Amino acid sequence: MIKIDNLCKTYNGITVLENINLHVAKGEIISIIGASGAGKSTLIRCINLLEKPEQGEIYINNTAILDSKVSVSDIRKKIGMVFQKFNLFEHLCVIDNLTIAPIKLLKQNKKEAEEKARHLLKQVGLLNKENCFPRQLSGGQKQRVAIARCLAMNPEIILFDEPTSALDPIKAYEVLAVIRKLAKSGITMVVVTHEMNFAKEISDRIVYMHNGRICEIGSPEQIFNNPIKRETREFIYKECNFNYQINGSDFDVYSLNSEILDFLERYSLPNDLMDMISGRIQYVLNLLNKLSYTMEITLSYFKDKRLVKLEMTSKGEKFLFQMPEDYEYKRKDNKNILETYFEIRDRRKKSEEL
C-alpha cells in the first residue's frame, strides 16, 4: 500500500530524514514514536506531499507519487490527514466542514454528501453538533470532527500527527476511542503519537525514529518489552517511567506533585495515589539533611501486577537511620536505593470495601 524507498529530506542543508525505508501493508496500523525533532511529522508530511523530499521515492499502490506528472489532488483523495491542531475551517459549520471537499473534489451532490456526513458524525458521537461552528466545540470535539471530515473523503490511508497531544486526558480519551474503533475497520493507518499505551494497543507494528532515521521497527511486544537497539531502550524506558531529579537546594514540592499527577493520568491511575507517593518521598527527605542531597526519583507502573514502584536513589554515605518496613533498602555502586510499592486497587473492589 505504502512503500518508502531511501527517502532523504533536508531543511536549509540540515538532514532531517535520512535513508528512510518503510513498507506499510493494506489494512496495517503503524505507529511512529520517537523524541521531539526525530522527524516523525516530516515523514508523514512527505507521504501526503506536504513536504518535498530531495531523494528517494514513495509509492502508493505502486504509483510513484513524487513524480511531477502525478496529480497531487488525486493522491490527497486517497490519503487523509489529521493534525494535532485540528485545522478545521473556522468559518464553516460542522456539516459544511465535512461536505465541502466531497462536493468539490468527489463531485458528490449536496444531499448525498450531507447524508454521509451525518452518518460519520454519528460514528464519532457528534450528531447533535452539525450546525455548530468550530469555536463552539471543545478540543476533543474538534478533533472528532476533523476525523469525520477526513473519513468523508473515503480515504484508503489515514495519517495522524499527534491527534491527542493538544488535548487534556479526558478529551484525548474520547478521540482515542474513535481512532481505536477506526483501527478495527480495516483502513490503513500511520499514527504519530506520544501515547505509548495507545500505540502498543492498536498497532500492528511500531516504528521508532531517532535523529531522522528509523532506528528500529518491530511488533509492539518487541519494541515495548524487548527493544534491541540501545536508543530504543533508552527512549522506551524514559517514556514508560517517571524520572525526577531532586536537588536539595531547589526542591519544589508542587512541581514534583504535578509531575506525579501527569504520570498517574498517563496510565489512568487513581489521582489520590499522588498524595501517598509524594508523602513517602517527603518522609525520606525529612530524614535526610535537606540541603545536601540530590535524589533521583523513578516511578514504574507494572500493569500486569497492578503495582506502582517508587525508587529513590542517592549517591553518598550509607544511610544509618532505620527505614520503616514498607521501604526496601539496598546499597549498590556507592548509591543508596530505597524501593517501595503501591498496590492499585480495583475501583469496584474499593467501593465494596467502603
Ligand X SMILES: Nc1ncnc2c1ncn2[C@@H]1O[C@H](COP(=O)(O)OP(=O)(O)OP(=O)(O)O)[C@@H](O)[C@H]1O
Query: Which residues are at the interface with ligand X (CB under 6 A)?
Result: 11, 16, 34, 36-42
In the bound state with Mg ion, the residue whose beta carbon lies nearer, of 85 and 335, is: 85
In the bound state with Mg ion, the residue whose beta carbon lies nearer, of 36 and 73, is: 36
In the bound state with Mg ion, the residue whose beta carbon lies nearer, of 18 and 296, is: 18
Residues 19-78 that bind Mg ion (CB under 5 A): 41
Contact of residue 16 among ligand X, Mg ion, none (CB under 5-8 Å per partner type): ligand X
Contact of residue 351 among Mg ion, ligand X, none (CB under 5-8 Å per partner type): none
Contact of residue 37 among ligand X, Mg ion, none (CB under 5-8 Å per partner type): ligand X
User: Residue 124 is placed in which grid cell?
Assistant: 464519532
In the bound state with Mg ion, the residue whose beta carbon lies nearer, of 31 and 41, is: 41
Q: Who's near 252: CB < 8 A, 6+ residues apart?
A: none
Shortest reach from residue 247's CB to ligand X, in Å: 27
Shortest reach from residue 78's CB to Mg ion, in Å: 22
Shortest-Cβ-distance residue relative to Mg ion: 41
In the bound state with ligand X, the residue whose beta carbon lies nearer, of 9 and 116, is: 9
Contact of residue 11 among ligand X, Mg ion, none (CB under 5-8 Å per partner type): ligand X
Contact of residue 53 among Mg ion, ligand X, none (CB under 5-8 Å per partner type): none
Contact of residue 38 among Mg ion, ligand X, none (CB under 5-8 Å per partner type): ligand X
Contact of residue 102 among ligand X, Mg ion, none (CB under 5-8 Å per partner type): none
Between β-strands 328-332 and 335-343, what pairing exists: parallel, antiparallel or unpaired?
antiparallel
The 233-272 site mask, x for binding Mg ion (CB under 5 A), equals ----------------------------------------
In the bound state with ligand X, the residue whose beta carbon lies nearer, of 205 and 280, is: 205
3-state secondary structure the chain: CEEEEEEEEEECCEEEEEEEEEEECCCCEEEEEECCCCCHHHHHHHHCCCCCCCEEEEEECCEECCCCCCCHHHHHHHEEEECCCCCCCCCCCHHHHHHHHHHHCCCCCHHHHHHHHHHHHHHCCCHHHCCCCHHHCCHHHHHHHHHHHHHCCCCCEEEEECCCCCCCHHHHHHHHHHHHHHHCCCCEEEEECCCHHHHHHHCCEEEEEECCEEEEEECHHHHHHCCCCHHHHHHHHHHHEEEEEEEHHHCCHHHHHHHHHHHHHHCCCCCCHHHHHHHHHHHHHHHCCHHHCEEEEEEEEECCCCEEEEEEEEECCCCCCCCCCCCEEEEECCEEEEEEEEECCCHHHHHHHC
**What is the Cα–Cα distance from 174 to 151, expressed in whole angstroms?**
17
**What is the Cα–Cα distance from 215 to 206, expressed in whole angstroms?**
11
Residue 232 within binding range of Mg ion, rule CB under 5 A: no
In the bound state with ligand X, the residue whose beta carbon lies nearer, of 102 and 212, is: 212
Shortest reach from residue 114's CB to ligand X, in Å: 35
In the bound state with ligand X, the residue whose beta carbon lies nearer, of 11 and 89, is: 11
Contact of residue 155 among ligand X, Mg ion, none (CB under 5-8 Å per partner type): none
Shortest reach from residue 49's CB to Mg ion, in Å: 17
Binding stretches for Mg ion (CB under 5 A) = 41
